[in-house]
Every structure is written in C-alpha cells, then in structure tokens.
C-alpha cells in the first residue's frame, strides 16, 4: 500500500522560505507525477505544482516565481520550497501521487502557519 | 486558468437518498474531470477519474458522467459515511484547478 507522509515545519515567519518534504513508502517514485496541493483553513483546494520522476516540472503560474519542487529518488522523497511567504500562504499542505491526470494517493496533510 | 463551478455549494439529504452534484468547466475539457471526497481534517480521496471511471475500492453507489463542460457526480442510496465535501478537478491543462466544493450534510 502506497503511503505519503509530509514533514511538519509548523510555523514559518513572513518573508522566509517554507520547506516541506514528502516521503513515499510502499512504492517507487518512478513513472508518476509528484504533486503539492494546499488548502487554506476553511477554503478549497489549490494545486501548487508537480514534478515527474524524471525531473520535468509544472507550476501554478500564480505561484511559479516562488515555488521549487524537487525529487530525491535515493530517499524516495520529494520536496517543496516556497519563498517569501506571507499570511496568505497559511494552509494545510498535501503531497499527492499523480497518475497522468488525477491524484490517487495523498498524504495526511500538514498545517503550515505563517506568522511572526 | 480553467474555472470549475460546482452546484449546489451545499446540499442537505437523508440516508437512502439519491444525490447529484454538478460541475461546470469554463471551457471544454473532454473527459479530463475527476471527483474527490473530503471529510473534516482528512485528505481528499479520489472517487471518480476520467469523468466516469470508478477508482478501485470506491463503492459502486458512486458514479460520474459528462463530457465537454458539464459533469455530474451521483451517489445512489446515501450512506452515513457519505456526508462530506465533494470537489471536482480538471486535468485538461495546467494549472490543474478544483471546484469550490459541495458540502453534503445530513438532513
């Protein structure tokens, strides 16, 4: 059974960089897209971006200038970096495995709060 | 970006009811449409992919239909565990976008 688990930085200060890891167990990174999706408290879902296991990336244009997604196949892990955060970036962040066009496995989510 | 609009935003129904949720895309997306269920404090779960394909392990009372711009999720004979928020999501092009959600509550 594939499982995804996000790291939990918890609190990030405004203007700093949010860094999250997602560790994948029970399966390989190969042949899938690895996604980050977020959900502000009480609101809907926003797709942040993804990386194919081979390294190609796709980012949401609304966040593209601040986002980097990377994959570490040796650790079976992928990561999100979001720079220059503000309170608007406070959200539950989910990692998710992507087949070509859907998200079939999700992490449990981790709440990241941006506050001084 | 492709805008996804769900209706209704909230819905009250009883156990045993048949429920339909609608999702409309701002442009044609073929059948690149997925449905997810989310319960409070939990990650979303994939129910339907490619508009009408049932994800493995999902009960057969869930079904999806549609193509182009108009799609529906139908739950036949609601069960207590079905009360949740439902989201549609387009995968026709980047950025992937979700509907605003439909909150299905117990009447």
Sort B43 into a burial class: Cβ within 10 Å, 0-12 / 13-18 / 19+: buried
The reported pLDDT for the residue numbered A55 is 86
Query: For residues B33 and A59, what is the distance between their CA atoms, to the nearest angstrom?
Result: 19
User: What are A13-67's pLDDT values in tens digits?
Assistant: 999 999 999 999 999 999 999 999 999 999 999 999 999 988 899 999 999 999 9
The reported pLDDT for the residue numbered B41 is 96
User: What are A53-101's pLDDT values in tens digits?
Assistant: 888 999 999 999 999 999 998 999 999 999 999 999 999 999 999 998 8
The reported pLDDT for the residue numbered B105 is 96
Nearest residue in B to A109, CA atom: B43
Is A103–B46 a contact, with Cβ atoms under 8 angstroms apart?
yes
| Chain B residues with beta carbon closer than 8 angstroms to that of A104 | 46, 49, 55
Contact status, residue A111 vs residue A7, Cβ threshold 8 Å: no
| Chain B residues with beta carbon closer than 8 angstroms to that of A33 | none
The reported pLDDT for the residue numbered A54 is 86
**HEC string for B3-46:** CEEEECCEEEECCCCCEEEEEEECCCCCCCEEEEEECCCCCCEE
Give every CB contact of residue A38 below 8 A, 6+ residues apart in sequence.
Answer: A45, A46, A48, A89, A91, A92, A93, A94
| Chain B residues with beta carbon closer than 8 angstroms to that of A61 | 1, 95
- Rg of chain B over Cα atoms, rounded to whole angstroms, equals 13
The reported pLDDT for the residue numbered A81 is 98
The reported pLDDT for the residue numbered A76 is 94
List chain B pLDDT tens, one digit each, 107 residues: 999 999 999 999 999 999 999 999 999 999 999 999 999 999 999 999 999 999 999 999 999 999 999 999 999 999 999 999 999 999 999 999 999 999 999 88
The reported pLDDT for the residue numbered A110 is 97
Nearest to A44 among B55, B95, B100 (CB): B100
Give every CB contact of residue A55 below 8 A, 6+ residues apart in sequence.
Answer: A71
């Amino acid at each position: 059974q594939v499982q995804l688990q996000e790291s939990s930085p918890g609190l990030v200060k405004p203007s700093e960089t949010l860094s999250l890891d997602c560790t994948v167990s029970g399966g390989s990174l190969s042949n899938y897209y690895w996604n980050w999706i977020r959900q502000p408290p009480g609101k809907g879902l926003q797709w942040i971006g993804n990386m194919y296991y081979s390294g190609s990336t796709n980012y949401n244009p609304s966040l593209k200038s601040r986002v980097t997604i990377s994959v570490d196949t040796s650790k079976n892990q992928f990561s999100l970096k979001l720079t220059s955060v503000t309170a608007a970036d406070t959200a539950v962040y989910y990692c998710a495995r992507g087949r070509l066009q859907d998200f079939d496995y999700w992490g449990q989510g981790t709440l990241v709060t941006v506050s001084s | 970006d492709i805008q996804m609009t769900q209706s209704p935003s909230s819905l009250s129904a009883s156990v045993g009811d048949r429920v339909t949720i609608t999702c409309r895309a701002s442009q044609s997306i073929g059948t690149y449409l997925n449905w997810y269920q989310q319960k409070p404090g939990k990650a979303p779960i994939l129910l339907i992919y490619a508009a009408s394909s049932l994800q493995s392990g999902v009960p057969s009372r869930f079904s999806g239909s549609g193509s182009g711009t108009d799609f529906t999720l139908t739950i036949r004979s609601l069960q207590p565990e079905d009360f949740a928020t439902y989201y549609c999501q387009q995968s026709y092009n980047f950025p992937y976008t979700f509907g605003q959600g439909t909150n299905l509550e117990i009447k």
